[in-house]
Structure 1
Amino acid sequence: MSEIQTLVERQAAGRHARLRAKRSLHSAIGDSGRDPIQLLRENSAGRVEALIPLRYGRMSVSPFTFFRGSAILQAHDLSGTAHSGITFPVCGDAHLMNFGGFATPERQLIFDLNDFDEVATGPWEWDVKRLAASFAIAGEHMGISRGSIEDIVSTAVHEYRDRMNSYASCSALELWHEIVTFERMIEAAATSEGRRLINRAMEKAAGRTHDSMLAKMAVLHDGRWTIQDAPPALFHPTGPNSLLGKNRKWSDTDEWKGKLTHAFDGYLQTLSSERRELLGQFELHDIAFKVVGVGSVGTFCLVMLFVDSLGKPLFLQVKEARPSVISRYFKGNGPAHQGERVVSGQRLLQAASDSFLGWTTGPAGRQFYFRQLRDMKISAEVERMSSTILQGYARICGWGLARAHAKASGKAVEIAAYLGNGNRFADALTQYALAYAVQNHKDYDAFIRACRSGKLEARSDEDMAADFRV
């Protein structure tokens, strides 16, 4: 084992990192001299061909949805910026919509990062910059004034700094057990409206269970549940509404199910023995393909519906894990299996992770990870927020990201020492966020021109759903 440094040595290392990257340098947006259309095409390679237009259609809704789906662009740009040299597995896509509430295995509702498709070893600053930029871009989309946007971004970064300073005095076990519960969020809320919204979110989460989803997604026939097709977002891989194409051998049901059985057995081996015993009490009733999110559209994603002896359901999501955009632009160590990369990163960064989190290799060598589809999971309705509420949400996200980084890195002392107690980092990040919002708008405009000229095909959910109506 390596020798543990003293607190004084760790603080000195954090301050010394300022020589590598002055905090004022974080205002630079980086290397934006690239073709955004070419990078998006490269990022779409290997996805389900018929769903790529839907990916672009969802991205085309606004500059904010474009930002959500174009993590590769910001990762490219950040590769040309200075960083402190303090690296560890970071989220890689820590924008404001990738935080939310969900239940721990002990049924406690917590707030945390909830998407880890891009997790990889990288500079912690990249996560903070993606979060800061997302608030600036969302604020502009919502028509919030520039001054208020500056306050919102600054709030997120200051909260990150303050929480990291607090975590720097915590022991390793204290950090490992730190959880941001909704009750703590209520205590920390600055306004009565904020407390009311958090209470409402808790009530909403209580109703988002496997049971509530069953009647909405499936029908019972002769004692077995079947998921109902709702193309393009949900369809059976081998059914008449499939968008997977004729040349992918998905039409051979027996061959496909055989390969999936092998993949599922591989997944079970990544679970602890008691989780395998628990899954053994369920029977598989149906499998469907599900289109999720914005950036993930076109990747392979399945929903597996299991039912126990009392007729109670369990929905598992089987999601394709592709190479991280972070690892494309920052070389670091990590698992070779992409599904294991996602699972390991999620377990490290989250305060408490899904009981059924695991990974496997599926048909055609694609790599996947498993998790529950819905377990009291809720996301913020950002577009309905006032600037005051958005600022409160920024504070919670800054807190959540600091907690995740402190736990995952074991370097809260170093990061806190690098940040210091002043405003230099927050001021630089506020400048960065505003400048990157401008760059994002330029990229969005180029993207829309490409869609209108036919270089890219973009179709909405409504347009594609009309293809299946009789």
Structure 2
Amino acid sequence: MSAPLATRAERFAKGKSLRKLTPRAAHGKLVGPMDRDANAILEAQNATRLPGLIPVRRQLMAENPFAYLRGAAAVMAHDLQWQPMAGSPVQACGDCHLMNFGAFATPEDNILFDINDFDETLPGVDFTVDVKRLAASVAVAAADKKLSKSERHTLAAAAVRAYRKRMEHLSYMSPLEIWHSQIDLEREAKKFRNAPLRRKIATVMARARGEGLDKDDNFPTLAESGAPVIHDKAPRIFHFAAGSDAARGFDPQTDLPPYRDLLPGAVQTLLDRYALRDFVFKAVGVGSVGTYCYVGLFMSGDDEPLFLQMKEANHSVLEALDGKLAYSGHQGQRVVDGQRMMQAASDIFLAWAEHQATGRQYYVRLLKNRVLGGVSEIAEAEGLADYARLCGRTLARAHARSGDPAVISGYLGDSEAFDEAIADFALAYEQQTEIDHEAWKAALPPSP
């Protein structure tokens, strides 16, 4: 018989005792050397990226401080290594900002809200790392909308408060109940105080069910006649010539069969009912632009499409937090394992692959239209508080699957001490992001 596990009360007490080592107020300051060369950290990532897309990444990050923050996960991970930690590890998202959440339609036609990007996910990371990046993104988004310092602080604190309250609720649930918990977007939207956002959520949910994909410039569309091929939408989606830089990253003929073998038998049978008909390069996100990423068009015998995405997986930027966090296995498997751990309903095609000629590592997933990115843009303008709270609640649910919600809740407590401290940090990091963004723009090569 196994030894009895600690009770909820004992784990809560353990979390509370962690405050003696790291008081909650300690999280309120941005500490460490801020004279680091943020540009150098970002440019170092370009060494393995597609050269032709590096200027696109630079320009995207130059648009505004929020776009810069999105692309600068490596910089923030570098900065977070100096910040105090609470001492309660989770499977971290690693790039937890407002635009990395999305809507997904389940087979039962429910629309779930969840974390959408796991490129930087890593196990064994303190829960405060994700919370701080989320709160900072709220502050930066609020500053972009010209909100006052007081308003920015209030919004960042609201996101953290939502995280704390949901974590407390989860701490009273059984592990199995936590595992099966979900964020139903339709139900959550009814709680939104912002009426325009509630109305626009209805449009988002319709698109998450597959309606209106042809209106998304970043989602592949097919030619209207002739052989089924994906339309080029340069510079984001394009076909490439044999021998080009893009062609040297992945070979579907040799690299996809090992991926298929990793799928469960039932999913292999499903995939075998489709055949690969087209293959293109597809740049994604902001921070990922230039990494090797492809989309395969698979068609059934009756010309019904299936899109699979092969996205390059490099080492997580969170390894900068501590050398002990270094992940030595397949980086694609790291992403897959992290997504399955954090996301309420991962897709059935999720697995990893490798380009045999170069050793580049990938994860493969069903390509979904990231329509909820539009919601976060809407929310930044007219419903940021509602959206920020929703992201906070969602992050708590994701963390509770791998971490101990009773320990985390014990540390967070009933007061607003943690909320206020993280909001203070968020405002400090928002100011640092402004500085880094200006330095990034100043270093851009002149336009041709």
User: TM-score, normalised to structure 2's length?
Assistant: 0.92
**Contact 2:109-2:209 within 8 A present in 1 as well:** no
Contact between 1:343 and 1:358, CA under 8 Å: does it hold in 2? yes
Q: State whether residues 95 and 120 of structure 2, in contact with CA within 8 Å, keep that contact through their aligned partners in structure 1.
A: yes
| Aligned AA (1:369) | Y
1:404 aligns with one of 394, 398, 403 = 398
Q: CA RMSD in A?
A: 2.4
Alpha-carbon distance, 1:184 to partner? 1.9
CA contact (8 A) 2:132 2:426 kept: yes
**Number of the residue aligned with 2:310:** 318
Q: Report the Cα offset of residue 84 of structure 1.
A: 1.4
1:4-33 Cα shifts (integer Å, max 9, x gaps): 212222112101111221111111223223
Q: Residue 442 of structure 1 aligns to a residue in which SS?
A: helix
1:388 Cα deviation (Å)?
Answer: 5.6
Deviation at 1:317, TM superposition (A): 0.7
2:88 maps to 86
Alignment of 1:214-233 (within 5 A): 217-219=221-223, 222=226, 224-233=227-236
Change (3 A) 1:206 1:105: closer
Question: Are the structure 2 counterparts of residues 229 and 192 from structure 1 closer, same or farther at C-alpha, using a change threshold of 3 Å?
Answer: closer
Q: Which residue of 1 aligns with 2:148?
A: 145
Identity score, percent: 38
Aligned partner of 2:341 in structure 1 is: 348
Conservation of the 8 A alpha-carbon contact between 1:339 and 1:359: yes
Q: Please, which of 422, 425, 428 is the counterpart of residue 429 of structure 1?
A: 422
- Cα contact 1:103–1:375 (8 A) shared by 2: no
For residues 80-119 of structure 1, the aligned pairs below 5 Å read: 80-119=82-121
What stretches of structure 2 of length at least 5 have no aligned partner? Answer: none
Of 387, 394, 402, the match for 2:388: 394
Give the corresponding residue for 2:39. Answer: 37
In structure 2, the partner of 1:466 is: none
Quote the offset at 1:420 in angstroms: 0.0
Separation in structure 1 between the aligned mates of residue 215 and residue 305 of structure 2, nearest angstrom: 10
Q: What letter is aligned with 1:399?
A: R
Label 1:434 to 1:2 Cα distance change in 2 as closer, same or farther (>3 A).
farther
Contact residue 211 and residue 313 of structure 1 kept, 8 A: no
User: After TM superposition, which residue ranges in structure 1, 4 or more long, deviate above 6 angstroms?
Assistant: 209-216
AA at the equivalent of 1:99: F
CA–CA distance in structure 2, aligned partners of residues 4 and 268 of structure 1: 39
Aligned length: 442
Whether 1:15 and 2:8 are equivalent positions in the alignment is no
SS at match of 2:228: strand
What is the Cα deviation at residue 243 of structure 1? 6.6
Offset, 1:89: 1.6
Secondary structure of the 2:383 match is: helix
* Per-residue deviation, 1:335: 6.1
Contact kept? 2:96, 2:130, Cα under 8 Å: yes
Contact 1:101 1:112 in 2 (8 A): yes
Whole-Å separation in 1 of the counterparts to 2:292 and 2:405: 36
TM-score (ref. length: structure 1): 0.88
Moved more, 308-317 or 296-305: 308-317
Name the counterpart of 1:185. Answer: 188
Contact 2:102 2:370 in 1 (8 A): no
Measure the CA separation in 2 of the matches of 1:207 and 1:8: 45
Give the whole-Å Cα distance in 2 for the aligned partners of 1:211 and 1:284. Answer: 21
Q: Which residue does 1:467 correspond to in 2? A: none
| Corresponding residue for residue 286 of structure 1 | 278
Q: 1:339 aligns with which of 322, 332, 351?
A: 332
Shift of residue 192 of structure 1?
A: 3.6
In 2, distance between residues paired with 1:304 and 1:209? 20
| Cα distance change, pair 226–387 in 1 and its aligned pair in 2 (3 A) | closer
Q: Secondary structure, in 3 states, of the residue corresponding to 2:48?
A: coil
